[in-house]
Chains A and B, each alone.
Chain A
Amino acid sequence: MADLSTNCAGIKSPNPFWLASAPPANSGDQVKRAFDAGWGGAVWKTLGQPIQNVSSRFAGHGYKGNKAIGFNNIELITDRPLDVNFREITEVKKQYPDHAVIVSLMVETKEEWKDFIKRSIDTGADGLELNFGCPHGMCERGMGSAVGQEPKVNEEITSWAMEYSSIPVLVKLTPNVADIQPHGLAAQRGGADGVSLINTIKSVIGVDIDNFVMRPSVGAQSTNGGYCGSAVKPIALHMLASLARNKDFNLPISGIGGVSTWRDAVEFLLLGATSVQVCTEVMLHGYRVVEDMLTGLNNYMDKHGFKTLNDFVGKAVPSYSEWGNLDMNYETVAKIDADKCIGCYKCMVACHDGAHQCIFPSKDDSRVPVIDESECVGCNLCEIVCPVPDCITMTEVDNGFAPASWNEHVAGTGKLRPKKGAH
């Protein structure tokens, strides 16, 4: 049994799985049930001045029968009374001393920040998360992503929080920026103990095509919302990795965005996160999803001989390089395992219409396609569309060329192999 415990920016928890600040962490009763189910921490649903929500708040982005590979919401921060929230946080923390309880905050003035931070600390919470991320509703009021998109404002508010807080402070970053790095660095300059990312992505998730109203439809209207769920994972990973590899950025990161399985979590950890937060997957399937996350992570660690999370946190960060440094002489071609092939010809049509026209029908009646390796550029498309596990393998070819990158080629220090499939 591996040690799954973590310390993210000074916030300790028995495992790296935290509920993100969102509906699953909306009340004391819920968070207790989540902890009982196995969650290691919870970032309470964001507290702030009283708001009111609309009816019809969520909508899914469906694909092939899955109604929500992506998810979007137009709800705001908590709509429950503040004193009830603070009372419940105190209660939960008392009952679960070893779990991480983090209070998420979003207010406007320095006075408000001071007041909210004091009341949060009084609950006994383990940390604070400053919500600089919400891309709808709150930003129009000068909060949320309106803060997160301005490094100066971000830095200033962070420094207020640091002034008032005696417990660790995470700054939750918005992905609605061209480059995440200046924003992470701003939080660092403000003195934050860590950052969490990502919050939701500004989105219009779809349109009701018979009623001509965007979704989620609030009567005859709708508005832009925040996109999250499995579909946003690649965006979250990119932002996580860009900060993790930035030499000037030294803060711990809590990774968020599309974590749906233990595999996703492992990817976040490998790219530098020391905890992961989950919202949508819990909204869709309940707290119980953590059970598989815990055993999956544990088995993965055992398989690789990792005793603690630190043994592998950030392990894939060095693999993130610039395109110009990639080895242009690394060459793969697709190979088909004739015994596994079921003859669907998916690879053939994909290569023919979407790649390099080098997969052909079988010459006999076997329906095992034939790959012209001399034309195959090794793009991976056929492997991606093949429905059979391990049937198409991208196989490395020894072409006799020493590794050479584009940058080396430009600098005159590397010799590139002849181009393939470019005629």
Chain B
Amino acid sequence: MQKQITEDRAETVFEDFKKPYDMKAAVAEANRCLYCEDAPCITACPTSINIPEFIRRIATENIQGSAETIFDSNIFGMSCARVCPVETLCVGDCVFNHMEQPPIQIGKLQRYATDQAFEQDWSFFEPGADTGKRVAIVGGGPASIACAHELRLLGHSPTIFESRDVLGGLNTWGVAPYKMKADRALEEVNWIMQIGGIEVKTGVTVGQDVSFDELKNDYDAVFLGFGLGLDKFLKLEDEGLDGIYGAVEFIEKIKLEQPDVSNVQTAVVLGGGNTAIDAVRQLKGLGIPSVKMVYRGTEERMSGYAHEWEAAKIEGIEGVWHMSPNRFFGENTVTGVLCDVLDQDKKPTGAQQNIEADLVLLAVGQDKQGDIVQSLPGLEIEWGVIKVDSMGRTGCDGVFAGGDCANGAKEVVNATAEGRDAARAIDQYLN
């Protein structure tokens, strides 16, 4: 079964970046909602939560009904309320944006209703009538758990195989602690598991401890939700020095352990995506005096969200642009990274610059590990990503996939939607 996580975690120093609403504030904000017809925010939500409806229910102080509307579409509604990049999803499509009025704070309203559900211990779901069908689920992240929950609603019996000893995937040990901490993510997992009948096998790495073919033979269907692999490295000189880590690997330490950064004066994160921004903000939050994000491109063209980078800058993080790491320096521990200076088109200018650092995180992507399922017949893999149709069907009969391993790395909300939809496809397949 799942292991408990320690309370001695570095992440606990972080406060919520977006403060929660109390009842009065939630009702006031809910009352601003126009209650649009065929609302654009619903379309913008990958799980298609009926947003105007749940907000109206907050306005009428029908909070239980509101939470029900949310969870009906999105069993990870509590996490999503905190970790979704709402600025680019629902909130970004609120019609108020076209009216020069602040958009409705959908995430904060969703958080209010779902937090209440946890606090008041409301439960909304009953398992469907037992079908006797067994489904193997590979991985224990949001995609897999959403799939398992939906399968239970439909009366099937899922078994989750998770290589770690905790569930929740990157939603537990990846998302920034100022959005949500690991213990809250695990509370949610337990809340979802209340539906009962979801078997969990932790410490089992599929492909090593049990083969994909075995699962396919032993179960009526298989869902693949194993996410991405390890952080990519650049294969540069002296990359093996102490003090150089993968960013996701280090974030996991912050989330679940107590890494010692008390001696670090200057930290450098290489990359310009959301993991890079999360990493610099967390290092800064842990008290490291100088934190830099070093990126090959420009501020305008970085792939990380603009609203996240704005917050990072306000927190005192420095962006260093047009720099491509060439090699690392140091005796045993890293002391710096030598960079090639690039031009507008990311081409080397010939110049080089040394950037001092006593902690370096690489945030240049995670490996796609689709190849571990190569043995399954008919299953197509492209650049390490499993090919699926809109309902999560792979080319291999009875095998379905969703989440990062099938979409190439998106958000928790996408993984949730894809897991749920795959469960519905599995149900069709089994009937």
Q: A389 — nearest CB in chain B belongs to which residue? A: B99
- Residue A412 at the B interface, CB < 8 A? no
Most chain B beta carbons < 10 A, residue from A344, A349, A388:
A344
Q: How far is the CA of A65 from the CA of B25 in the complex (A)?
A: 10
The reply to whether A65 and B34 contact each other, CB–CB distance below 8 Å, is no
User: A residues within 8 A CB of B36?
Assistant: 343-346
When A64-B59, A65-B27, A388-B99 are in contact, do A346 and B38 touch as well, CB less than 8 Å? no
Leading 4 A-B pairs by shortest Cβ distance: A349-B37, A345-B37, A342-B98, A65-B31
Q: Which of B35, B40, B96, B99 contacts A367 (CB 8 A)?
A: B40
The reply to whether A342 and B99 contact each other, CB–CB distance below 8 Å, is yes
- A66: min CB distance to chain B, Å: 9
User: A residues within 8 A CB of B31?
Assistant: 64-65
Q: Which of A65, A342, A344 contacts B37 (CB 8 A)?
A: A344
User: B residues within 8 A CB of A388?
Assistant: 99
Q: How far is the CA of A388 from the CA of B35 in the complex (A)?
A: 14
- Residue A414 at the B interface, CB < 8 A? no
When A387-B99, A388-B99 are in contact, do A346 and B37 touch as well, CB less than 8 Å? yes
- Residue B286 at the A interface, CB < 8 A? no
Q: B100 — nearest CB in chain A belongs to which residue? A: A342
The reply to whether B96 and A342 contact each other, CB–CB distance below 8 Å, is yes
User: B residues within 8 A CB of A343?
Assistant: 36, 40, 95, 98
- Residue A146 at the B interface, CB < 8 A? no
- Residue A348 at the B interface, CB < 8 A? yes
The reply to whether B40 and A65 contact each other, CB–CB distance below 8 Å, is no
Binding site of A, secondary structure by majority: helix, strand, loop or mixed?
loop
- Residue B28 at the A interface, CB < 8 A? yes
A residues 340-361 near B (Cβ < 8 Å) are 342-346, 348-349, 361
The reply to whether A387 and B37 contact each other, CB–CB distance below 8 Å, is no
User: B residues within 8 A CB of A345?
Assistant: 36-39
- B31: min CB distance to chain A, Å: 4
User: A residues within 8 A CB of B99?
Assistant: 342, 387-388
User: B residues within 8 A CB of A65?
Assistant: 27-28, 31, 59
B residues 68-98 near A (Cβ < 8 Å) are 95-96, 98
Q: B30 — nearest CB in chain A belongs to which residue? A: A65
11 A/B residue pairs, CB under 8 Å, sorted by A? A64-B31, A64-B59, A342-B95, A342-B96, A342-B98, A342-B99, A346-B34, A346-B37, A349-B37, A361-B38, A387-B99
User: A residues within 8 A CB of B59?
Assistant: 64-65
- B residues bordering A, Cβ < 8 Å? 27-28, 31, 34-40, 59, 95-96, 98-99
- A residues bordering B, Cβ < 8 Å? 64-65, 342-346, 348-349, 361, 367, 387-388
- A366: min CB distance to chain B, Å: 11
Most chain A beta carbons < 10 A, residue from B27, B37, B40:
B37
- B62: min CB distance to chain A, Å: 12
User: B residues within 8 A CB of A348?
Assistant: 37-38
User: B residues within 8 A CB of A344?
Assistant: 34, 36-37, 39, 95
Q: A345 — nearest CB in chain B belongs to which residue? A: B37
User: A residues within 8 A CB of B40?
Assistant: 343, 367
User: B residues within 8 A CB of A387?
Assistant: 34, 99
User: A residues within 8 A CB of B39?
Assistant: 344-345
User: B residues within 8 A CB of A64?
Assistant: 31, 59
Q: How far is the CA of A344 from the CA of B37 in the complex (A)?
A: 6
Q: B31 — nearest CB in chain A belongs to which residue? A: A65
Q: How far is the CA of A98 from the CA of B366 in the complex (A)?
A: 83
User: B residues within 8 A CB of A367?
Assistant: 40
- B26: min CB distance to chain A, Å: 11
User: B residues within 8 A CB of A342?
Assistant: 95-96, 98-99
- B406: min CB distance to chain A, Å: 27
Question: 10 new A-B pairs (CB below 8 Å) besides A65-B28, A344-B37, A348-B38?
Answer: A64-B31, A342-B98, A342-B99, A344-B39, A344-B95, A346-B34, A346-B36, A346-B37, A367-B40, A387-B34
User: B residues within 8 A CB of A349?
Assistant: 37
Q: How far is the CA of A388 from the CA of B28 in the complex (A)?
A: 20
- B414: min CB distance to chain A, Å: 22
- B146: min CB distance to chain A, Å: 29
- B3: min CB distance to chain A, Å: 44
- B422: min CB distance to chain A, Å: 28
- A361: min CB distance to chain B, Å: 7
- A108: min CB distance to chain B, Å: 46
Q: How far is the CA of A170 from the CA of B149 in the complex (A)?
A: 73
Q: How far is the CA of A348 from the CA of B28 in the complex (A)?
A: 26
Q: How far is the CA of A346 from the CA of B99 in the complex (A)?
A: 15
Q: B29 — nearest CB in chain A belongs to which residue? A: A65
Q: How far is the CA of A346 from the CA of B52 in the complex (A)?
A: 12
Q: How far is the CA of A321 from the CA of B304 in the complex (A)?
A: 65
Q: How far is the CA of A361 from the CA of B37 in the complex (A)?
A: 10
Q: How far is the CA of A387 from the CA of B27 in the complex (A)?
A: 19
Q: How far is the CA of A32 from the CA of B31 in the complex (A)?
A: 39
User: B residues within 8 A CB of A346?
Assistant: 34-37
Q: How far is the CA of A348 from the CA of B39 in the complex (A)?
A: 12
- B89: min CB distance to chain A, Å: 17
- B52: min CB distance to chain A, Å: 10
Q: How far is the CA of A88 from the CA of B31 in the complex (A)?
A: 45
- A288: min CB distance to chain B, Å: 23
User: A residues within 8 A CB of B38?
Assistant: 345, 348, 361
